[in-house]
Structure 1
């Protein structure tokens, strides 16, 4: 970077990139020295070799480690320094600092370029419309849910009505069937009583012919069910009461 356009720019700003890089190198060296010294003290205490001949051996071993670490760090720092010169401290081609006698740029022009009152008003209108649409959408969703609940309730009521109607129809049907059964049983019993009455009437006629001297009051001649047996009439009456 020495003698380049970038160096001239930094010199005009009283900035020295190389001084910054050297400060970083010195800081790294100090950190490595402190780490090695701390390691030497901890190792001497742990091995209990303070003041013995083995202290020199420990120092030699730590120096070997330090040189290895320092060598790797120096390689990486050299790459970092080159990267800084190529990217961080390299100004674009054709870059020129403004002269002190030049009129500063009017920042209001830039502000007007990005601040348009008409555009801001249109954006506000769009935001308001979007808010209204959101509220209307929420209201429609609530109304839709309410209608769905009402529809579900009406469906339940209709189903209950249908079930009730079917139940009533079945009840009437059962009652009608029971009445038909009762009427059939009554007709059967009445038919039996009539048959018995006819048989008794024929029997009395024959008895009158063959026994003319018999007391007529002893004959069971009559109309309707007067000649029927008492237990048969009672059975019919009980059957009618139960129905």
Structure 2
């Protein structure tokens, strides 16, 4: 389902961190409108979203190690908590809200991918710089490329997420038509099981089968 390149693991170790990815596979999903209580309850349980968090500090270390600037392009979990602090956290749909809620609650980056759109094995690698990434800029669709050495998720076709977990591409995003998905929980020196358990609980109401893969 996914692989992690040794060069990514070594990058993390070079700044004193061990990386772990846990995949949650969900089949028979039924997406739908947002439930405002899901994000609201997660924000309340997370405490002060502006307070320093050791897991987010670890992600800043790794981002700097591959040349990103976390103050300008933070990891997805930090970006969500910043939006929660400003009161402009977006409600997208039932599935996206579920993994965003878990991300906020545990300060853990999580990505959700439509498995029907993935081609081949999804893998975490360092970019060569010539890969393609389908995204939106200033409201219009564009295709861009990552920086050489940047950590990316990609499949056999193109990049699915830039700067490890900073921005997901359009091709594999969860939509109202999504029925089978993979959710990737990403940690540095942390136990991802509590976050996975919360995600599975939220997905149980909308899926037939949920499975975890380390």
TM surpasses 0.5 = no
Structure scoring higher RCO (CA < 8 A, sep ≥ 6) equals 2
Higher-Rg structure is 1
Bucket of the pairwise TM-score, normalised by the shorter protein: under 0.3
TM-score by length of 1: 0.16
TM-score when normalising by structure 2:
0.18
Pick the structure with more helix per residue.
1
